[in-house]
Amino acid sequence: MIDLVIITGVSGAGKSTALAAFEESGYYVVDNIPLAVAENLFEEFSKHEDKYSKVAVSVSLKIASDVFDLAKKFKNFTIDFMGLDCIDAVLMERFRLSRRLHPRQAAGLTLAEAMKEDTQLIDALRDKFTYYVDTSKITKNELRKIVYKDVIKDNGSEFTIMFVSFGYKRSVPQDIETVFDVRLLPNPYWVPELKNLTGKDEKVIKYIFDAPETKEYLEHVISYLTYYLKKLKESGRRHAYIGVACSGGQHRSVAIADYLYKYFSKDYSVSVSHRDLPR
């Protein structure tokens, strides 16, 4: 069976946030599908159940009912229909802060007229929704938690962390959110017998971890990461991408990234990669 979630709602209520939560949970997501392609898309999903076992699609309010009825024709779909709503005063403020136009304003409607049209459309769908969420008084993170807990039925235990080592001389990976600079630790590069080894070699590891400053450094890093990762998970985040950097990405960053990987593996789902190790 294919777990299909159809998401719709008033513009500004959080469809993109909800869709991102599904994507982070392993769903194949399609944003804002038109009615003209919906049937072909569903047929593709239906034929390849092994590849598309979990799917989330977002649709506009105008076609939401038609897409929902179309999906019901497929016998190997289990369908949840999610509607996101929000009161006008909050929507007004969100549009003002984001400086975005309501999609219907491009057709000549005022923002008030566009929101009134949305309200009429979502009210007509209320009886069809499996899940109806008013986002007026909740944050993006709280909406994500609702998606995980109530729709996906996931308590958030699968918070994942990726540690990646790299060298500054080849730039910082763009998707890194936090970087720990280990260049203040002793550098094996300047030891002739260690220069051509890597942070995977026991001699290099011993050299780095025998230094008193390494122990002190790691105490601070672990203390901060313990707090930071706990807060990220509590906020509704599903992953963290942590960088460990040295000059070349060969010795110190590799050894420290591997150490952090082992340390946090007891509490989290963790992976580690080394971008700049010699290939």
Q: What is the pLDDT of residue 150?
A: 86
Given a cut of 60, is residue 176 above it in pLDDT? yes
How far is Cα 102 from Cα 278, in angstroms, rounded to an integer? Answer: 51
* Candidate ranges 18-22, 166-170, 216-220; pick with highest mean pLDDT: 216-220
Question: CA-based Rg of the chain, rounded to a whole angstrom?
Answer: 24
Cα 111 from Cα 91, distance rounded (Å)? 10
Give the pLDDT score at 278.
65
- Long-range contacts formed by 195-202: CB under 8 A, 24+ apart: 197/251, 198/250, 198/251, 198/254, 198/277, 198/278, 199/165, 199/250, 199/251, 199/252, 199/253, 199/254, 199/255, 199/256, 199/257, 199/258, 199/274, 200/254, 200/255, 200/258, 200/277
With a cut of 90, say whether residue 214 has pLDDT above it. Answer: yes
Hey, is 179 helix, strand or coil? Answer: strand
pLDDT-derived band at 154, boundaries 50, 70, 90: low
Q: Give the per-residue pLDDT at 279.
A: 52
CA distance 84 to 272: 37
Tell me what the pLDDT averaged over the chain comes to: 92
Query: How much is the pTM?
Result: 0.64
Q: Quote the CA–CA distance of 55 and 185 in Å, as a whole number.
A: 47
| pLDDT at 117 > cutoff 70 | yes
Instruction: Enumerate domains of the chain plus CATH numbers.
Output: 2-151 (3.40.50.300), 160-274 (no CATH)
Short-list 200, 188, 162, CA closest to 248: 188
To the nearest 5 percent, what fractions of the chain are helix, strand and coil? 45, 20, 35
Q: What is the pLDDT of residues 27-44, one digit of tens each?
A: 999 999 999 999 999 999
Does residue 96 have a pLDDT over 70? yes
**Tokens describing residue 23:** 């994507």
The pLDDT of residue 175 is above 60: yes
Q: What integer pLDDT is reported at residue 155 of this predicted model?
A: 53
Contact (CB, 8 A) for 18 and 12 = no
Q: Specify whether the CB–CB gap between 245 and 168 falls below 8 A.
A: yes
Which residue's entry shows tokens 């049937």?
A: 39
Contact yes or no for 242/177 (Cβ under 8 A): yes
Quick check: 158 pLDDT over 90? no
Can you list the pairs that 39-47 forms with residues at least 24 positions away whose Cβ atoms lie under 8 Å?
39/70, 42/70, 42/71, 42/74, 42/77, 43/74, 45/2, 45/4, 45/74, 45/77, 46/2, 46/74, 46/76, 46/77
